[in-house]
């Protein structure tokens, strides 16, 4: 197996898994919070928040990537603040690839979480409150377990989206081998050089296998979670 993939190809695969994992992890808490707010709370600007969350889904990825570069680049408002205060650089680093993938995957995660939260009967949360449970405890012990299938589905969807993210990533963090060259970027790069078709094809096969494996795993986990809830 290790002979089958060259070092550059291994590097691209490992980086992709690494970036997607952190992108999913990063968007999960924000996703749960925003999905809960959209599902349960009435507040001014709810529609605007909803549009903002979904924006990366409909904007050309290059545009998202360029906007990221403008705000999170070294000269950008947030980017320069991050560097001055924490010494953190996002542009052209793997951390930037995580941010780009997280933002691109965010709408998918929020959609799936929001549907799951809307399916939880608020009456159950009321019942928990009458038993003396404070709001956060109700969320952790009642809401969260009940949305687990949706949370798993959303996370896998986000992970798969992060694995496939290309446009925003290459615009924001470029295509540096070992640093920001994820699977799609690597496939693209191999296709640009003569004789790279073999490597590209191998990475295509890897992409398909990873995507299918993730989907199957999520199906299995979600089924188990549903059984746990409905089980007698």
Binding residues for other proteins, rule: CB under 8 A, are 121, 123-124, 126-135, 138, 141-142, 145-146, 228-232
Smallest distance, Å, CB 26 to other proteins?
Answer: 27
Q: Which of 165, 174, 120, 170 is nearest to 143 (CA)?
A: 120
3-state class percentages of the chain: helix first, strand second, coil last, to nearest 5: 80, 0, 20
Question: How far is residue 165 CA from its own chain's centroid?
Answer: 10
DSSP structural state of residue 175: -
Shortest Cβ 65–other proteins spacing (Å): 41
Shorter beta-carbon distance to other proteins: residue 104 or 128:
128
Residues in the chain: 232
What is the rounded radius of gyration, in angstroms, for the C-alpha atoms of the chain?
Answer: 20
For residue 42, the minimal CB distance to other proteins (Å) is 15
For other proteins, the closer of residues 49 and 129 by Cβ is 129
Which residue lies nearer to other proteins by CB, 76 or 149? 149
Secondary structure (DSSP) of 131-145? TT--HHHHIIIIIHH
Closest to other proteins by CB, 192 or 232:
232
The least CB distance from residue 140 to other proteins, in Å, is: 12
């Amino acid at each position: 197996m290790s002979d089958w993939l060259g070092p550059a190809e291994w590097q691209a695969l490992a980086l992709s898994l690494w970036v997607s994992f952190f992108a999913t992890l990063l968007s999960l808490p924000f996703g749960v919070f925003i999905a809960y707010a959209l599902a349960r709370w009435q507040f001014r600007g709810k529609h605007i928040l909803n549009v903002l969350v979904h924006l990366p889904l409909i904007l050309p990825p290059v545009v998202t990537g360029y906007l990221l570069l403008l705000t999170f680049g070294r000269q950008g408002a947030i980017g320069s603040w991050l560097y001055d205060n924490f010494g953190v650089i996002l542009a052209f680093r793997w951390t930037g690839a995580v941010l780009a993938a997280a933002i691109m995957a965010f709408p998918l995660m929020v959609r799936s979480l929001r549907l799951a939260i809307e399916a939880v009967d608020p009456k159950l949360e009321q019942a928990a409150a009458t038993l003396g449970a404070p709001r956060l405890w109700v969320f952790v012990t009642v809401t969260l377990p009940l949305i687990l299938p949706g949370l798993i589905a959303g996370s896998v969807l986000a992970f798969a989206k992060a694995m496939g993210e290309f446009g925003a990533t290459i615009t924001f963090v470029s295509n540096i081998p070992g640093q920001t060259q994820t699977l799609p970027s690597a496939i693209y790069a191999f296709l640009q050089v003569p004789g790279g078709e073999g490597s590209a094809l191998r990475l295509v096969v890897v992409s398909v296998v990873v995507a299918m494996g993730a989907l199957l795993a999520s199906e299995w986990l979600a089924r188990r979670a549903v059984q746990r809830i409905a089980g007698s």
